[in-house]
């Protein structure tokens, strides 16, 4: 397996090649969105209704987060999902927006690369 990490001006992504052979036709690429600026990882603890949820963030704060209107139809979340959270400018310690939901293969990649080392002490299972 070959692995590469790309950094672009607009977004930071990690990239992994998945596949048994080194034949380019049989390999599968996936990109992993990494936190930028004030964004942090969080684990969904409880859904509250009305597109709101209680999220335990990796800065040891519990925030009431919402799914923005542009993502309501696309982003479906369940308890235990790993999310990317952007705290609000006003009330950032208590509230935030959900930006992205990580898929299981992306969570594995983040663990393997060491981005989720602090999560192992906080939460044992995603």
Structural domain contains residue 82:
yes
Collapsed DSSP state (helix, strand, coil) of residue 60: coil
Q: Are strands 82-87 and 40-49 parallel, antiparallel or unpaired?
A: antiparallel
**Residue 3 maps to a domain:** no
In a domain, 116, yes or no: yes
Q: Residue 76 class from Cβ within 10 Å (0-12 exposed, 13-18 middle, 19+ buried)? A: exposed
Q: How many domains does the chain have?
A: 1
Q: Is the pTM of this model over 0.95?
A: no
Quick one: which of 73, 74, 1, 90 has its CA closest to 38? Answer: 90
The pLDDT value given to residue 120: 53
Instruction: Print the domain residue range for 84.
Output: 35-126
Within-domain flag for 16: no
Q: Does the pLDDT of residue 79 top 70, yes or no?
A: yes
What CATH number corresponds to the domain at position 100? Answer: 2.40.50.140
pLDDT digits (tens, 9 = 90+) for 61-74: 999 999 888 887 78
């Amino acid at each position: 397996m070959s692995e590469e990490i790309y950094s672009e001006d607009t977004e930071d992504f990690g990239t992994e090649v998945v596949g048994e052979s080194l034949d380019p036709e049989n390999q599968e690429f996936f990109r992993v969105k990494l936190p930028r600026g004030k964004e942090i990882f969080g684990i969904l603890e409880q859904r509250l209704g009305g597109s709101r949820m209680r999220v335990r963030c990796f800065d040891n704060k519990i925030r009431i987060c919402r799914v923005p209107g542009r993502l309501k139809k696309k982003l479906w979340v369940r308890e235990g999902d790993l999310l990317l959270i952007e705290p609000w400018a006003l009330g950032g310690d208590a509230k935030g927006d959900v930006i992205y939901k990580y898929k299981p293969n992306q969570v594995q990649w983040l663990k393997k690369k060491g981005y989720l080392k602090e999560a192992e002490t906080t939460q044992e299972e995603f």
